[in-house]
Amino acid sequence: MPVTLVIHGGAGNIHPGMMTGSQEQQYREGLTAALDKGYAVLRDGGAATDAVIAAITELENNVLFNAGRGSVFTKKGLHEMDAALMDGATLNAGAIAGVRNIKNPIMLAREVVLHSGHVFLSGKGAGEFALSRGIEFAPDDYFFNKDPYDQWVDIRDSDFYQLDHKEDNMKGPIPNTDHKFGTVGAVAFDAKGNLAGGTSTGGMTNKRFGRIGDSPVVGAGTYANNKTCAISCTGHGEYFLRAVVAYDVSCLMEYKGLSLQEACNTVIKDKLVKLGGEGGLIAVDGQGNHDFCFNSAGMYRAMRNDGGREEVAFYGA
Cα within 13 Å of Cα(88), Cβ side: 33
Assess 213 for contact with ligand ASP (CB under 6 A).
yes
Q: Which residues contact 99 (CB under 8 A, 6 or more apart)?
A: 80, 81, 82, 83, 105, 108, 122, 123, 126, 127, 130
| Residue 80 in contact with ligand ASP, rule: CB under 6 A | no
Nearest distance from C-beta of residue 255 to ligand ASP, angstroms: 25
**Can residue 214 be called a binding residue for ligand ASP (CB under 6 A)?**
yes
| Interaction of residue 66 with ligand ASP, rule CB under 6 A | yes
- By beta-carbon proximity to ligand ASP, the closer residue of 133 and 242 is 242
10 near ligand ASP, judged by CB under 6 A: yes
Amino acid at 255: Y
- Catalytic member of 74, 183, 201, 205: 183
Q: Is 70 in the site for ligand ASP (CB under 6 A)?
A: no
295 binds ligand ASP (CB under 6 A): no
Judge whether 205 counts as a catalytic residue. Answer: no
86: left (phi over 0), alpha (psi -120 to 50) or beta: beta
Residues 153-192 as x/- pattern, contact with ligand ASP by CB under 6 A: ----------------------------xxx---------
**Is 200 a binder of ligand ASP (CB under 6 A)?**
no
Strands (E), the chain: 4-12, 81-87, 93-99, 120-122, 163-164, 174-175, 184-189, 195-201, 222-224, 229-235, 279-285, 290-294, 298-305, 310-315
Residue pair 92/107 in contact (Cβ under 8 Å)? The answer is no
Please identify every residue annotated as catalytic.
Answer: 183
Interface residues with ligand ASP (CB under 6 A) are 10, 66, 181-183, 201, 203-204, 213-215, 221, 234-235, 237
